[in-house]
Amino acid sequence: MRLQYPSSIKIIRVPCTGKVDVLHILRAFEKGADGVYAVGCLEGSCQFNNGNIRARKRIEQAQKILDTVGVGGERVQMYNLSSGEGTHFAEFAVEMEERIQKLGPNPVKLNKKEKAA
């Protein structure tokens, strides 16, 4: 559709959001990501039955952990759409990017820089 979405977003393709583990999300933040979001199929339409449900639950778990460790659960999000909904994809990207801009950089990243300095 050749819609625009922010260039700050790095896309990692997976066969199903069900492949995403809590560990992947946490490691991303550990390595300095400012935000992580998963975009999966609409609930009820998962080709692998409930991969997107698993993903949602893992995102929720990650949110809790990130709140506890001082990174912030708002930095991680689950979105659902169908493969034809290109406009939504762009919308989610914009929404997420705006949110992360407001939240500022990942504190882990900042603290690492400080340490290095």
How far, in Å, CA of 29 to CA of 109, rounded? 8
- Looking at 9, 14, 16, 69, which residue binds another protein (CB under 8 A)? 69
22 binds another protein (CB under 8 A): yes
DSSP code for 37: E
Residue 117, interface with another protein (CB under 8 A)?
A: no
d(CA 10, CA 28): 12
Q: Is 26 in the site for another protein (CB under 8 A)?
A: yes
Tokens of 23: 């560990």
d(CA 108, CA 46): 34
Nearer to another protein, 66 or 93 (CB): 66
Per CB under 8 A, 116 contacts another protein:
no
Q: First CA to last CA across the chain, in angstroms?
A: 44
Q: Beta strands of the chain (E only): which ranges?
A: 36-40, 76-80
Residue choice 9, 16, 53, 65 for contact with another protein (CB under 8 A): 65
Instruction: Please pick, from the candidates 4, 7, 13, 68, the single residue that binds another protein as defined by CB under 8 A.
Output: 68
Q: Which residues bind another protein (CB under 8 A)?
A: 21-23, 26-27, 29-30, 65-66, 68-71, 107-108, 111-112, 114-115
